[in-house]
Structure 1
């Protein structure tokens, strides 16, 4: 994956994050650029061959310089602090995206070394492929049934950890149609480098056709079948499941909280 994809955002959250990065860099360059230029200027002005340069071996203080080197960085730090506080709340991954369009709920399970996506409202599931309509908020609920991973779709923004026995959340939206790369951004063992998936942003009609295609799959994701899906494997191909156990996600989370794997869903997942 091209690392520059992160700066080529196709979603509102990603664009806000790119803007934050750019603003922070510009603010810090207010100090960096003058320091570089002054360093070059001082080296040139006070070079050994410049006999006209002032020689002041006992010079020790300048009020103007002291004011400059303390005031400017202080103002920049204050600006960055306010900016960070403001954007931290605005870009809180747990904060739902305001929209008149009904969001899509997707449950995400990080496995060794693949991603499982469950659509609880549609009753379908996929491996290493997630799809959603353009302009529709996507509410991701994320956990892991393996070691810690990090769920990341660079062109849509946001990155959040997937941890066993816990639920994390992420809200994204795509402003443009496209086939976007998804990865794990946290090293998780042998198959980590191939733990990738595709995020498909499409029109509503295309999404409806995609859902119909998934529902035509002969495979069903019961708890027994899931045990096979969860086994470690590398470079796992995209796979569709036309039906899925509605308690699958909660059971995956719950088994790390109380040591039981309740196929009947009696043990509800803890809300984190």
Structure 2
């Protein structure tokens, strides 16, 4: 209800428009229920009792046309909104979109910045006003990537490459979470999205890339992807090119880490 981007704002509009259509039916029905009860009370001698009445074409037309119109309105709102806010649809903007690759693991989030050549864990930093193309997959069980104030959630699935476009129009810190149960560490799969001015984002990248941490390659990813909880935000100053595609192509499972039942250890 407090959107910070165009997708979340559009979803809020759909919600309130649909609510208005439904209230246009619910409120009169509630009022009429009380009005009929009051008018046809036993003490009201002016109320007419028609025991033989059974059918009215006009009343039938009224009773069925209003719900039919409501369904048409709701269907139109949902159809138009779902196409306008379709997750893979790029957001119109004068600014060039940046790409962030997201990998859900047990139980933390890995964010790869292929254009900047770095990666972070449980912290996402994006420039205000810049559309972000998220490529989303999972290195384990099915998960769901969701930043409520920015917009749509989308599932992260092993071996699949999902796309989501979002944009933050207001500077601030927003909570991100997993919206799909993924095991005992599910409740700890939170992260922060920091929407900052472009200059602050450039400083963040320079600071992260200037660190003395390890390079995030396949070997390091295998170690990082082991189940862990309450992982503090961290960064990798260097990123192996094509790592995200390698994760997707290997079906999300770190090499040699597949259990007999098919679940990552």
TM-score of the aligned structures, taking structure 1 as reference length: 0.89
Alignment-derived partner of residue 234 in structure 1: 229
Q: Verify: 1:156 aligned to 2:127, yes or no.
A: no
Name which of 59, 62, 65 aligns with 1:65: 59
Does residue 250 (structure 1) correspond to residue 206 (structure 2)? The answer is no
**In 1, distance between residues paired with 2:154 and 2:103?**
13
CA distance in 2 between counterparts of 1:261 and 1:93 reads 31
Q: Which runs of no fewer than 5 residues in structure 2 stay unpaired?
A: 257-265
Q: What is the TM-score when the length of structure 2 is the normalising length?
A: 0.92
Distance 1:254 1:23, change over 3 A: same
Aligned to 1:270: none
SS across alignment from 1:201:
strand
Deviates more, 1:208-217 or 1:233-242: 208-217
Task: Say if 1:254 and 1:261, in contact at 8 Å, map to a contact too.
Answer: no
How far the C-alpha of 1:261 sits from its partner, in A, is 4.8
Could you tell me how far apart the structure 1 residues matched to 2:169 and 2:186 are? 29
1:36 pairs with 30, 35, 41, which one?
30
Structure 2 counterparts to residues 82-97 of structure 1, below 5 A: 82-97=76-91
Measured in 2, the distance between the counterparts of 1:92 and 1:129 equals: 25
> Relative to structure 2, which stretch is displaced further, 94-103 or 248-257?
248-257
Q: CA deviation at 1:105?
A: 0.3
Matched, 1:144 2:138: yes
Structure 1 residue 80: deviation in Å? 1.8
Distance 1:82 1:141, change over 3 A: same
Equivalent pair of 1:251/1:261 in contact (CA under 8 Å)? no
For 1:122, the equivalent position in structure 2 comes to 116
Q: Which structure 1 segments of 5+ residues have no match?
A: 1-6, 263-272
Distance (whole Å) between structure 2 residues aligned to residue 155 and residue 83 of structure 1: 21
| Mean Cα deviation higher: 44-53 or 147-156 | 44-53
Say if 1:254 and 1:260, in contact at 8 Å, map to a contact too: no
* CA drift at 1:67: 1.6
Counterpart contact for 1:222–1:245, Cα < 8 Å: yes
Output the CA distance in 2 between the equivalents of 1:237 and 1:217: 16
Which residue of structure 1 aligns with residue 192 of structure 2? 198
Cα separation, 1, equivalents of 2:210 and 2:45? 86
Q: 1:266 corresponds to which residue?
A: none
1:202-213 superposed matches below 5 A: 202-213=196-207
**SS of 1:156's equivalent?**
coil
Residue 52 of structure 1: CA displacement? 3.8
Q: How many residues align?
A: 255
RMSD: 1.7
